[in-house]
């Protein structure tokens, strides 16, 4: 290195080289040498000119500061400070800066505290009102033994503004996020949590320090979603786009799962690089649960939790579609069946034990039904006491009847309901799938029709639908129509069945039993139409007509024979609910002139149980007229004996199922004996119904049962035949000795 050319110690040369690279550094040494008065007149160095050009063309502002004053400034420096280079030279360097930055310029840039930190960058504000900032780097120069500084400066005003704007928007965002009732989470590119708001902390149950810095997926995402979550984030970071809205599950500190609906955006730093994601979310767990609940409720029965009619029809329709698809492909697969099930005498349970026990029965029954079917089958509650079962993937038709038998078997065990043991029996109709069915409703209708047949055949059984049942179903409609017409046309007649004293077989009275003289079908028994009349309300005018006719008839017997022959009239549930029943009875007595003690009204326990207090009051009012009350079909309801005995009744009529029924004979005999004994000790009359044989009568004689009624003596006969029986006064059922 030639001192003639450079004239500066090598250390300064080195400093310059480090600061600007070789070219600039070499030129600086030349300048300083010239200023230092060591000019070698007229000798122009081409390299020096080149370095000058480089320095002057540099985008960086360069200053040389000597004793706090500017010794040199390049063009970029004058552009930066807004003053021509000539004006700058000799000025105090600090004056170029805002007073706020003097400290840093003086003690960091111009005089680095230690050689180790020399060359660090500092930001300083320029003088002037326009808030312009530079980034400065200062290095020490030795100018002929004098310490000087070489300072480079870049204008960073724009960058700072951009950063400040970023910071500002971030601040604003945080302000919002700290206060809203929404969770907010910022993740970096790797999914590490860089920020979360207090609401998020509240939701997950952690402190901020437990959350910041943790990987989102490991910390809050359910295990099964973690890997896919990470992959998605990676992909999104690469694409620079996120799903604007998504719903994900998170797990809280206590292990609760919450569903959060997120709005996501990509975060970028000031250079536009993707730095992570920002997500704002609402905890929608409760809303989702409520929606799920609503959805569930719309398709399930509230009491039993079983699928409801809508869901059942849906599944049935799907099964039908599968069957049709299989048939179209030539397969014989997908056979299924619909079982329609109705609880026998459910109304009686409801009426005698109360609705809550009735509800319990339905719940118990629904679990019993589920045990009788395979897991894939659908047990649904259609409403009331009606259930349906869809049996799918059947191999053969017999499977459906096998399920029905299984159900009957399960129900052979009593259900315990609120301390009561209740035997529930059900009637079932079965419709088997056939390609001819188009609509689910048609299958359901046919299963229903078959169920009605099962009921008609004596309940507690099942019937498989066959097409002849359609005819019988429409017959029922016809019957209702005829029934209405029959009332208009007065086609009903009252027949009378004698009630006989057991000791001498003489007639004590008659029970009035209605008959329908159908123009085509002849005499129709009440079992075929009473329930329909009850359902349609036609039983009210019908019952009233029977009452009036029976009173009229009994008055005739009384007058002709001079005997106190009673007449018993059955009341229906609907009649019993008539507010003017007492007036009706009173009017019938007055019109006919029948002494009230000769009229007996028969009520069943279920009628009384429906509204016990009201019923007892009503019975008392009837008794006040002087008429007698009989409890009909005694023993067939669910009421407790002690309870029934509190009713204001005069007579118990032991149901014929105990007298001539097909049940356990020994048990029945015991029941009859017990009821007779109990009734007589309470001063009640007893009528044994359905006496058909001498053996049965002999037992009644043994038990001292006072009254009996049955085919052994006479069936119900028309009024003329009854009048003859009265006139003959013969002992009934056998000729007098």
Instruction: Point out which residues bind ligand C2E (CB under 6 A).
Output: 497, 513-514, 525-527, 530, 539, 543, 546, 570-572, 602, 632-633, 656, 660, 689-692, 709-711, 715-716
Nearer of residues 377 and 632 to ligand C2E, judged by Cβ = 632
Nearer of residues 66 and 633 to Mg ion, judged by Cβ = 633
| Residue 546 contact partner, candidates Mg ion, ligand C2E, none, CB within 5 to 8 A by sort of partner | ligand C2E
Rounded Cα distance, 670 and 657, in Å: 13
Rounded Cα distance, 260 and 241, in Å: 20
How far the first Cα of the chain sits from its last, in Å, is: 167
Nearer of residues 28 and 654 to Mg ion, judged by Cβ = 654
| Residue 543 contact partner, candidates Mg ion, ligand C2E, none, CB within 5 to 8 A by sort of partner | ligand C2E
In the complex, least distance from residue 574 CB atom to ligand C2E, rounded to whole angstroms:
8
In the complex, least distance from residue 300 CB atom to ligand C2E, rounded to whole angstroms:
39
Rounded Cα distance, 547 and 572, in Å: 11
- Using alpha carbons only, what angle is made at residue 31 by residues 28 and 34, rounded to the nearest 5 degrees? 150
Task: Give the list of residues 6+ apart from residue 522 with CB closer than 8 angstroms, or none.
Answer: none
Q: Which stretch binds Mg ion (CB under 5 A): 241-249, 388-396, 570-578, 588-596?
A: 570-578
Rounded Cα distance, 416 and 364, in Å: 9
Nearer of residues 138 and 635 to Mg ion, judged by Cβ = 635
Backbone torsions φ then ψ of 693, nearest 5 degrees: -130, 160
| Residue 692 contact partner, candidates ligand C2E, Mg ion, none, CB within 5 to 8 A by sort of partner | ligand C2E
Count CB atoms within 10 A of the CB of residue 310: 12
Rounded Cα distance, 64 and 35, in Å: 12
Residue from 570, 709, 714, 719 in contact with Mg ion (CB under 5 A): 570
| Residue 710 contact partner, candidates ligand C2E, Mg ion, none, CB within 5 to 8 A by sort of partner | ligand C2E
Residue 446 as a binder of Mg ion (CB under 5 A): the answer is no
Residue 605 as a binder of Mg ion (CB under 5 A): the answer is no
Nearer of residues 312 and 516 to ligand C2E, judged by Cβ = 516
In the complex, least distance from residue 488 CB atom to ligand C2E, rounded to whole angstroms:
18
Rounded Cα distance, 232 and 191, in Å: 11
| Residue 711 contact partner, candidates Mg ion, ligand C2E, none, CB within 5 to 8 A by sort of partner | ligand C2E
Residue by residue, DSSP assigns 410-426 as HTTSPEEETTEEE---E
Nearer of residues 105 and 691 to ligand C2E, judged by Cβ = 691
| Residue 139 contact partner, candidates Mg ion, ligand C2E, none, CB within 5 to 8 A by sort of partner | none
Nearer of residues 451 and 644 to Mg ion, judged by Cβ = 644
Residue from 351, 632, 686, 707 in contact with Mg ion (CB under 5 A): 632
Rounded Cα distance, 466 and 177, in Å: 70
Rounded Cα distance, 108 and 656, in Å: 118
Nearer of residues 271 and 662 to ligand C2E, judged by Cβ = 662
Q: Is 553 helix (H, G, I), strand (E, B) or coil?
A: helix
Residue from 155, 301, 344, 633 in contact with Mg ion (CB under 5 A): 633
Q: Within 401-430, which residues bind Mg ion (CB under 5 A)?
A: none
Rounded Cα distance, 320 and 338, in Å: 11
Q: What share of the chain is helix, strand, coil (3-state, %, to 5)?
A: 50, 25, 30
**Position of tokens 């302000």?**
175
In the complex, least distance from residue 708 CB atom to ligand C2E, rounded to whole angstroms:
9
Nearer of residues 342 and 605 to Mg ion, judged by Cβ = 605
Task: Give the list of residues 6+ apart from residue 385 with CB closer than 8 angstroms, or none.
Answer: 342, 343, 346, 362
In the complex, least distance from residue 575 CB atom to ligand C2E, rounded to whole angstroms:
7
Helix (H) or strand (E) holding 541: helix 539-561
Q: How far apart, in Å, are the Cα atoms of 591 and each of 88, 149, 542, 547, 587?
A: 136, 136, 18, 11, 6
Rounded Cα distance, 136 and 126, in Å: 11
Nearer of residues 283 and 632 to Mg ion, judged by Cβ = 632
Nearer of residues 322 and 552 to ligand C2E, judged by Cβ = 552
Helix axes 440-456, 468-488, angle to 10 degrees: 70
Residue 602 as a binder of Mg ion (CB under 5 A): the answer is yes
Is the distance from CB of 133 to CB of 61 less than 8 angstroms?
Answer: no
In the complex, least distance from residue 318 CB atom to ligand C2E, rounded to whole angstroms:
45
In the complex, least distance from residue 339 CB atom to ligand C2E, rounded to whole angstroms:
30
Of the candidates 390, 371, 368, which has an alpha carbon nearest to the alpha carbon of residue 379?
390
| Residue 344 contact partner, candidates ligand C2E, Mg ion, none, CB within 5 to 8 A by sort of partner | none
Rounded Cα distance, 195 and 214, in Å: 10
Q: Which residue is nearest to ligand C2E (CB)?
A: 710
| Residue 530 contact partner, candidates Mg ion, ligand C2E, none, CB within 5 to 8 A by sort of partner | ligand C2E
In the complex, least distance from residue 492 CB atom to ligand C2E, rounded to whole angstroms:
8
Structure tokens at 385: 């006491």
Nearer of residues 141 and 601 to ligand C2E, judged by Cβ = 601
In the complex, least distance from residue 395 CB atom to Mg ion, rounded to whole angstroms:
47
Q: Which residues bind Mg ion (CB under 5 A)?
A: 570, 602, 632-633, 689
């Amino acid at each position: 290195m030639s001192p003639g050319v450079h004239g500066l110690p090598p250390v300064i040369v080195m400093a310059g080289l480090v600061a600007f690279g070789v070219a600039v550094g070499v030129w600086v040494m030349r300048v300083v040498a010239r200023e230092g008065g060591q000019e070698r007149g007229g000798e122009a160095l081409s390299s020096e000119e080149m370095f000058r050009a480089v320095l002057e063309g540099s985008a960086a502002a360069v200053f040389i500061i000597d004793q706090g004053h500017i010794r040199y400034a390049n063009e970029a420096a004058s552009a930066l400070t807004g003053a021509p280079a000539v004006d700058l030279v000799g000025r105090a360097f600090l004056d170029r800066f805002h007073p706020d930055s003097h400290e840093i310029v003086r003690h960091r840039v111009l005089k680095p505290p230690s050689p180790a930190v020399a060359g660090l960058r500092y930001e300083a504000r320029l003088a002037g009102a326009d808030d312009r900032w530079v980034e400065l780097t200062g290095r020490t120069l030795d100018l002929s033994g004098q310490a000087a500084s070489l300072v480079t400066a870049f204008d960073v005003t724009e960058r700072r503004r951009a950063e400040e704007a970023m910071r500002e928007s971030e601040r604003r965002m945080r302000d919002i996020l700290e206060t809203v009732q929404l969770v907010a989470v910022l993740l970096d590119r790797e999914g590490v949590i860089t920020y979360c708001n207090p609401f998020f902390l509240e939701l997950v149950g952690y402190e901020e320090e437990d959350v910041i810095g943790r990987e989102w997926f490991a910390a809050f995402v359910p295990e099964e979603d973690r890997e896919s979550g990470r992959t998605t984030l990676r992909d999104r970071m690469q694409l620079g786009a996120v799903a604007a809205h998504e719903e994900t599950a998170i797990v809280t500190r206590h292990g609760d799962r919450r569903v959060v609906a997120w709005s996501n955006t990509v975060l970028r730093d000031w250079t536009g690089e993707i730095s992570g994601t920002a997500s704002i979310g609402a905890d929608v767990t409760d809303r989702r649960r409520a929606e799920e609940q609503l959805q569930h409720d719309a398709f399930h029965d509230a009491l039993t939790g079983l699928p409801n009619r809508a869901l059942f029809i849906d599944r049935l329709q799907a099964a039908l579609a599968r069957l049709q698809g299989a048939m179209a492909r030539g397969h014989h697969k997908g056979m299924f069946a619909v079982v329609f099930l109705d609880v026998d005498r459910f109304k009686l349970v409801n009426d005698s034990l109360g609705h809550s026990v009735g509800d319990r029965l339905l719940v118990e029954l629904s679990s019993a039904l589920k045990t009788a079917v395979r897991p894939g089958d659908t047990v649904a509650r259609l409403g009331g006491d009606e259930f349906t079962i869809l049996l799918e993937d059947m191999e053969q038709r017999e499977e459906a009847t096998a399920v029905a038998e299984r159900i009957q078997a399960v129900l052979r065990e009593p259900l315990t309901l609120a301390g009561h043991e209740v035997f529930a029996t059900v009637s079932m109709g079965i419709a088997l799938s056939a390609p001819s069915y188009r609509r689910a409703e048609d299958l359901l209708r046919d299963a229903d029709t078959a169920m009605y047949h099962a009921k008609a055949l004596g309940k507690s059984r099942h019937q498989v639908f066959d097409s002849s049942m359609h005819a019988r179903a429409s017959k029922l409609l016809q019957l209702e129509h005829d029934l209405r017409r029959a009332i208009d046309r007065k086609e009903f007649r009252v027949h009378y069945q004698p009630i006989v004293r057991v000791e001498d077989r003489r007639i004590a009275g008659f029970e009035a039993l209605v008959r329908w003289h159908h123009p085509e079908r002849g005499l129709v028994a009440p079992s075929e139409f009473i329930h329909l009349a009850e359902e349609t309300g036609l039983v009210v005018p019908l019952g009233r007509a029977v009452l009036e006719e029976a009173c009229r008839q009994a008055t005739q017997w009384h007058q002709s024979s001079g005997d106190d022959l009673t007449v018993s009239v059955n009341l229906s549930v609907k009649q019993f609910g008539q507010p003017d029943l007492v007036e009706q009875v009173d009017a019938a007595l007055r019109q006919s002139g029948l002494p009230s003690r000769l009229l007996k009204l028969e009520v069943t326990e279920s009628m009384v149980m429906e509204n016990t207090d009201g019923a007892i009051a009503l019975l008392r009012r009837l008794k006040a007229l002087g008429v007698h009350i009989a409890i009909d079909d005694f023993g067939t309801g669910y009421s407790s004996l002690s309870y029934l005995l509190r009713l204001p009744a005069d007579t118990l009529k032991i149901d014929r199922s105990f007298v001539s029924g097909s049940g356990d004979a020994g048990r029945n005999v015991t029941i009859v004996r017990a009821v007779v004994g109990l009734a007589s000790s309470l001063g009640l009359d007893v009528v044994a119904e359905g006496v058909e044989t001498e053996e049965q009568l002999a037992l009644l004689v043994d038990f001292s049962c006072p009254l009996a009624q049955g085919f052994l003596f006479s069936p119900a006969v028309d009024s003329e035949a009854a009048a003859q029986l009265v006139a003959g006064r013969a002992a009934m059922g056998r000729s007098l000795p």
